[in-house]
Each structure stands twice: as C-alpha cells, then as structure tokens.
A and B are shown apart, each in its own frame.
Chain A
C-alpha cells in the first residue's frame, strides 16, 4: 500500500529515530534546535501556530534513508534502481486529507504557515521540502522540488535558475505571455521527494516513478483552483501560478545543497491563490543541506550501479558520500577481474556531476573510512592508479570551477579524478591478508563483566 509522510514519521518513531519535543518552539529557533539533534525531530507545539506541528531533519543519516526506502542500509541504491525501473501510474481519487481545509480569497495568508528561518545569510524564511507539480500542454505533467522564499502573505520567490523541466515549462508559458500554474505539496512521503529530485526524461511523469518506488499507485486529488493534481495524502498544498515576469525578482541567498551559503538570484514570483491542508497539518521543514544531499545519494548511487553494469563490471556496494553532497563523488567496491578497476572508474566518472570516483575490491567496507584509507594507502600507486579527465561538464555552484571568469551564459568545465584502490595486477593477494584476532569468536567480553 502507498505510504504517507505520516507513515514515514511513525516508522522513524518506531525505529527509535524520532525526538518528540513538547515545549513550545518559536519558528525563529526551530532550525537551530533541529540542527542539534542526532535524531529526526517533531515539534509538537509551535508558538503562535496552534494548529501546526513541525517535523524535520528526517533524513540525515543512511539509517533513516533506509527506513524511508523500507530496506537495509546496504540495499538503498539497488532498491531505488529496481523500483524506479517499474513505474506505476497514479490514480485520481475524489477527495483526500490534504483538502480537509480549503482557504481561498482573503483567507489565503502565508504568514499563517510556520515558515522557518534556517541559515544565517538566508534572504528570508523558506519552504524547503516541496513537491511542485506543473503541466505543459505538449509535454504533460511534471514534478520537481523547488525552494520557496516567503515574500508576502500571498507570494513567494522560487529558485528556477538551473535548467530543469519546470524551468522549460515556465519559459514556454512566458513566451506566450502567460503564467504557469503550479501546485506545491508539502509533507509527502520520501518516495515522492526522491521521484521529484530524479532527473527523469521530460515526458516521464515523476508521479509514476513515485508509484514504482511505493509498489502502488499514488492517489491524487484535483486541485481546487488550478488544473493540476497533487498527492492526496500531503500535509498541505499551495495552489497558484508563476507570474509571467521572467527572472526579475530577488530570491535568496539560501543555504544551498552544496553546503555553501549561496547568493541573491533573480527569479520569478509564485502567487498563491488557494491553500488546502489537513485539519491538523504537519509542516515539513527539510533541513538543508543534509536532507537534500541524503535524498540525492540514492539517485547518484543507482546511476553509478547502472554505469558499472553497462561497463560489464560487477558492483558489490556503492556510496555517494554526503560530504560531496550526494552528487559529486562515488565510491564503489567491485568483484574485480584484471583491468576492471580502471573500467569501473571510467564508468563512474561518466555519471552526471561525479568528479571523484574511488573503486575498491569487495573485501573493503566502503562505509568505513579507515578501511577505505587502508585500501588507498596500500593498493594505490599514484603514477599508475589515478585517472584525470580534463574539461568535463561542471556545475556553476562548485567554486573551484571559477565560473565568474566565464562570460554571461558561459558554462564551466571541471577535471575529474578516479582512484583505483583495487589490488594492483601482479601483486599477490596473500600480501594483503588482514590481521585477525586469535579466538575472536570463542569468547564474549560481556560474559566477563
């Protein structure tokens, strides 16, 4: 059965991964409090917002990502890859909890939503965990996640600078002098968030990918004021339109997924016509950058697995570290045949933004930094085991590509590095026999306490 945001929060609670805070919390301090918790957080009592609770920092560890995907921590990439490949179309239902309360006209008031202020240099309070639906007459329904900066009780900013399907839809509407209708669902299951951040081909409905991840169709309700559909079990929904003003309004800075403060950007404005919500809504405060980066990891990891298989290399484990934001590096262990350390590197470095790839044999635990260091120390000869590729596509957001040196509209390039930390060809395996404690399995320390 399709699971909801609430089901996920409950699963975190059942797994001992949720901290419930009962004292009243001011939304100007919510982010600071959340960032001090090593568990996911639910604020049960929000100062000045009696109807609302706030949940956040839900996915800030591999263990909690595994709870989201309902699998073991070592199975995340494979689970994502397998299920995303079997999309299930959504179904339209007559009603859903996200429309228990409908606010239109003078009742539309974004100041009545507990927007948090999250980072020191942010240009305003932000909605960070969105599932934004739009439609194009030719290309169909699209979903993505886009941040929204509070501007007025009826308007937010949106970051629509980077190339994306929704940016393309907006440009097409703008070319005709028309607004683009959008619906912003907040408080959806992580499967919907993963599908939204997945770079699906333009005619693919990400809601079908979400259905595949759930193994069940996503029930949708029709919006009240725009010709769009949203997940029926969302916590709340903002309906409205991106005004046909182009990239003219200031937006940001906002703590970026690259873990950098960011700049003021020039962007369109979202005018809200209608707010629908549950009677007892939970506001999802996605803690940037960590939750964004953890959500990116399975997608990058699945792409890495695919690239390895296409290169006929057998992957054993793969990891997109959150230190490189779930995008910029991949570490994989493989069952290696001669030469495949290098083949694997070439495959991994072809994945989207990946600029650092490390490949090990399958006796290395790639989740253990000490094990990885050991492999990189004793299995790597720098003059033989590094691959450097110059001039590959890059993202502006990486300061080391010096995109400010490019002219307006110029696209940066980057160098990519691969490290083959597999046992070099010609070195006998027994030279790597690891130290093992004598009689390790025969006694248990706790029996002696």
Chain B
C-alpha cells in the first residue's frame, strides 16, 4: 500500500469516519492521488460500514 493509503487505514483503525471527514483530512494531497489511495484500500477488502454509513476497518468476516 502507498504511504497515503497506510495513513488513511491507520486513521480508520482509530474510529469510524464519514467519507467527507477522510477527504477533509487529506486536502493537502492532489485529488487523483487520494482517489488512487482510496482505491487501494477498497481493493484490500478491509473496510466496513457502520449504521450511519461511516467507514471503518472491519474484521475479515464482515469486510465489504
């Protein structure tokens, strides 16, 4: 994973976050780089969603 994707994963491990919060925390990176990093995380199948639609890092059996 790219350093940016790793940073986002570490943040999601702390607590569930809405997509817009993840975006706002990385406004310093160009949007295409953010999209690529988000794609890496998606492709790793480690994300989960809570009832509010926030993203989190989920155990393997509930990941989406």
**Interface residue ranges, A against B (CB under 8 Å):** 26-28, 47-49, 110-112, 114-115, 117, 120-125, 150-153, 155, 249-250, 252-253, 263-264
Chain B contacts with A in 18-64, Cβ cutoff 8 A: 18-20, 23, 27, 30-32, 35-36, 38-40, 42-43, 47, 49, 53, 55, 64
Known: A150-B39, A250-B47. 10 other contacts (CB 8 A): A28-B31, A48-B32, A115-B35, A121-B53, A123-B53, A150-B38, A155-B39, A155-B42, A250-B64, A264-B53
Complex CA distance for A123 and B64, rounded to whole angstroms: 13
B27 CB to nearest A CB, Å: 7
Q: A117-B20, A123-B53, A151-B39 are in contact. Are A49 and B64 (CB under 8 A)?
A: no
Q: Is the CB of B35 within 8 A of A121?
A: no
Complex CA distance for A150 and B36, rounded to whole angstroms: 10
Q: Is the CB of A47 within 8 A of B31?
A: yes
Give the bracket for the number of chain B residues in contact with chain A: 20 to 34
In the complex, chain A residues whose CB is within 8 Å of the CB of B30? 47-48
**Interface residue ranges, B against A (CB under 8 Å):** 18-20, 23, 27, 30-32, 35-36, 38-40, 42-43, 47, 49, 53, 55, 64
In the complex, chain B residues whose CB is within 8 Å of the CB of A153? 35-36, 39
A29 CB to nearest B CB, Å: 9
Complex CA distance for A110 and B42, rounded to whole angstroms: 14
In-complex Cβ contact of B35 among A122, A150, A250, A252 (8 A): A150
Q: Is the CB of A250 within 8 A of B31?
A: no
In the complex, chain B residues whose CB is within 8 Å of the CB of A264? 49, 53
In the complex, chain B residues whose CB is within 8 Å of the CB of A28? 23, 27, 31
Q: Is the CB of B19 within 8 A of A117?
A: yes
- Pick 5 A–B contacts, CB within 8 A, sort by A: A117-B19, A120-B18, A121-B18, A121-B53, A155-B42
Q: Is the CB of B20 within 8 A of A121?
A: yes
Q: Which residue of A lies closest to B41 (CB)?
A: A152
Q: Which residue of A lies closest to B48 (CB)?
A: A250
In the complex, chain A residues whose CB is within 8 Å of the CB of B35? 110-111, 115, 125, 150, 153
Q: Chain A CB within 10 Å — which of B23, B39, B40, B55 has the most? A: B39
